[in-house]
């Protein structure tokens, strides 16, 4: 695999043995459109503080799904990296294959680890059956990107932006009516986006002990019906993700629903054409305590079994997910931090949030409603998410949401060997 080596800052041998000076840690990551700049800055910052450790970044995978497949192939070929950034819903696939290293011995005292900014809620994103297999490195939830100029032209206002789906669809329909080249709303036909809508209605993909599929519940059908309504009522087009982002940046898409991690790119893309505004995602359930927005983003897992490399890799993981790394993630992407210290201590991000109201709104939503991104169990987990995406495409194209979700649930039960 082609690798891009980030040159370290001038290495000092003071305080390091020859063996330490030669320690190299290979790092895998995905989504270079979001992560390339951040990864390079984290690696450079870490190596400046740890001149005895060299960080080598593997050529990035295009997506977390493709990254997981690359890692599985790497395991067969015995060419796994030392650590990897994987989607928060993907690391369990690797754990199920017994590839990941349990991190509890490296963590040591849980109380001391929590004092370093790793709260129980944050740790839960990388835990399974009481063990820590991953450490969250970035977090995002679904948000609503808005072009306020198009909202105004359609007769709406940001002061009275809709807080329910009926109002949102009505506004999107009015925006679409502004002209043949203007689109009202877009959201990807994708498992994570669907999970967010499901969680908005208080639903879950599976029950708590993962013995039953539950996304065909009334909440799940309501969530799937949104895709149908976006298409039939608001004329949602069959964009790809890049096309939708380009349309929004060009000022011809009024409402773009996607991960908060795209914030920096969306603002830069729009430039001076209009002021990108972020609104929190809609909460549809009457019982707010049931609302659950799956946390997108990534976590770092460890593969190396070599003790010396484990020590070096763990130092990197603590830097990347600690206050300094979290600060770099927030400042150079739309992701929310996964370390509590940077939210409490204003010396890290106080000035940033004061100047970036959109980020403050998006990250506050993470704190209020976030939870683990459901990963379907077993080796067919990735296939299940693909099936969900395909079903949503069919719904956008006209399939009945209730019938499609019922049939999909039966298919998934078969995939996961459930009765």
The tens place of each residue's pLDDT in the chain, 419 residues long, gives 444 444 333 333 333 343 345 799 999 999 998 899 999 999 999 999 999 999 999 999 999 989 999 999 999 999 999 999 999 988 999 999 999 999 999 999 999 999 999 998 889 889 988 999 999 999 989 999 999 999 999 999 999 999 999 999 999 999 999 999 999 999 999 999 999 999 999 999 999 888 999 999 999 999 999 999 999 999 999 889 999 999 999 999 999 999 998 998 899 999 999 999 999 999 999 999 999 899 888 999 999 999 999 999 999 999 999 999 999 999 988 788 999 999 889 999 999 999 999 998 888 888 778 778 888 887 788 889 999 999 999 999 999 999 999 999 999 999 998 86
pTM over 0.85: no
Determine the structural domain holding residue 221 and report its residue range: 142-294+376-415
Tokens of 144: 């609503």
Residues 48 and 129 in one domain: yes
Could you give the number of structural domains in the chain? 2
The CATH number given to whatever domain includes residue 18 is 3.40.190.10
Residues 229 and 303 in one domain: no
Residues 337 and 410 in one domain: no
Residues 390 and 245 in one domain: yes
Our measurement of the distance from residue 311's CA atom to the centroid of its chain's CA atoms, rounded to an integer in Å, reads: 27
Residues 287 and 271 in one domain: yes
Give kind and range of the element (H or E) at residue 297. Answer: strand 296-302
Our measurement of the distance from residue 343's CA atom to the centroid of its chain's CA atoms, rounded to an integer in Å, reads: 19
Residues 106 and 118 in one domain: yes
């Amino acid at each position: 695999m082609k690798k891009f080596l980030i040159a370290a800052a001038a290495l000092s041998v003071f305080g390091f043995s020859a063996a330490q000076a030669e320690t190299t840690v290979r790092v895998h990551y995905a989504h270079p459109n979001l992560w390339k700049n951040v990864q390079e800055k984290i690696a450079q910052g870490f190596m400046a503080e740890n001149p005895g450790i060299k960080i080598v970044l593997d050529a990035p995978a295009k997506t977390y799904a493709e990254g997981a497949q690359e890692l599985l192939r790497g395991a067969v070929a015995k060419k796994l990296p030392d650590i990897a950034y994987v989607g928060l819903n993907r690391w369990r696939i690797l754990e199920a294959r017994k590839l990941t290293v349990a991190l509890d011995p490296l963590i040591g005292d849980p109380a001391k680890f929590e004092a370093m900014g790793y709260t129980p809620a944050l740790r839960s994103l990388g835990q399974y059956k009481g063990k820590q297999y991953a450490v969250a490195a970035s977090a995002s939830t679904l948000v609503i990107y808005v072009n306020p100029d198009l909202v105004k032209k359609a007769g709406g206002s940001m002061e009275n932006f809709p807080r329910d789906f009926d109002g949102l669809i009505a506004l999107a329909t009015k925006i679409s009516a502004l002209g043949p080249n203007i689109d009202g709303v877009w959201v990807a036909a994708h498992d994570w986006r669907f999970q967010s809508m499901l969680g908005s209605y208080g639903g879950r993909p599976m029950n708590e002990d993962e013995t039953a599929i539950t996304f065909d519940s009334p909440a799940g059908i309501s969530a799937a019906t949104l895709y149908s309504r976006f298409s039939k009522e608001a004329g949602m087009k069959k964009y790809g993700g890049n096309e939708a982002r380009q349309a929004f940046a060009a000022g011809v898409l009024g409402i773009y629903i996607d991960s908060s991690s795209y914030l920096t790119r969306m603002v830069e893309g729009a430039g001076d054409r209009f002021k990108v505004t972020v609104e929190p995602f809609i909460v549809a359930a009457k019982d707010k305590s049931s609302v659950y927005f799956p946390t997108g983003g990534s976590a770092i897992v460890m593969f190396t079994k070599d003790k010396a490399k484990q020590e070096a890799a763990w130092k990197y993981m603590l830097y990347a997910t600690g206050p300094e790394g979290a600060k770099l993630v927030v400042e150079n992407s739309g992701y929310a931090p996964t370390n509590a210290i940077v939210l409490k201590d204003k010396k890290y991000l106080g000035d940033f949030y004061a100047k970036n109201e959109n980020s403050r709104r998006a990250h506050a939503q993470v704190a209020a409603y976030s939870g683990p991104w459901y990963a379907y169990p077993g080796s067919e987990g990735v296939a299940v998410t693909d099936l969900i995406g395909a079903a949503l495409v069919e719904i956008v194209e006209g399939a009945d949401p209730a019938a499609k979700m019922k049939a999909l649930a039966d298919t998934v039960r078969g995939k996961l060997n459930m009765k």
